[in-house]
């Protein structure tokens, strides 16, 4: 039973693989220096905006680096929550 519980915890903590495209190296370097770099779809667009504002100084991001990371993340951003009636 303990082994099964441990396997579930490990599976729940596994991260979504990062897309391999332009910007991934910078994203891993800047955003993975202190914590695991989150996959774009793990955080909604509004959350990323808050993260950029907070991490600009912490990660010492230049305006150009923010633009590069933003372009990297945008294709896979989590969609905003929709009305309950629109969900399948």
> Would 5 be classed as within a structural domain?
no
> Would 6 be classed as within a structural domain?
no
> Would 26 be classed as within a structural domain?
yes
> Would 10 be classed as within a structural domain?
no
Range of the domain at 46: 19-80
> Would 9 be classed as within a structural domain?
no
More confident residue, 15 or 68: 68
Task: Check whether 6 has a pLDDT greater than 70.
Answer: no
> Would 87 be classed as within a structural domain?
no
Q: How many Å separate Cα 81 from the centre of its chain?
A: 17
> Would 71 be classed as within a structural domain?
yes
Say how many domains are in the chain.
1
> Would 2 be classed as within a structural domain?
no
Q: What is the mean pLDDT of residues 81-86?
A: 63
DSSP per residue over the chain, as a string?
Answer: -HHHHHHHHHHHHPPPPPP-STTHHHHHHHHSSSSPPPPGGGSBHHHHHHHHHHHHHHTT--HHHHHHHHHHHGGGPBPPP--GGG--
Two tokens, residue 45: 């667009």
> Residue 50's beta-bridge partner residues?
none
Taking only the tens place, the pLDDT of each residue in 25-62 is 999 999 999 999 999 999 888 899 999 999 999 999 99
Asked whether the whole model's pTM tops 0.85, one would answer no
């Amino acid at each position: 039973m303990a082994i099964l519980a441990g396997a579930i915890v490990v599976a729940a903590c596994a991260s979504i693989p990062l897309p391999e495209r332009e910007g991934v190296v910078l994203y891993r370097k800047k955003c993975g220096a202190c914590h695991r770099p989150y996959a774009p779809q793990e955080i909604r667009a509004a959350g990323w905006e808050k993260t950029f504002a907070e991490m600009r100084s912490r990660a010492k991001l230049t305006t150009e680096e923010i633009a590069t990371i933003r372009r990297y993340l945008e294709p896979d951003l989590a969609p905003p929550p929709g009305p309950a009636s629109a969900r399948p």
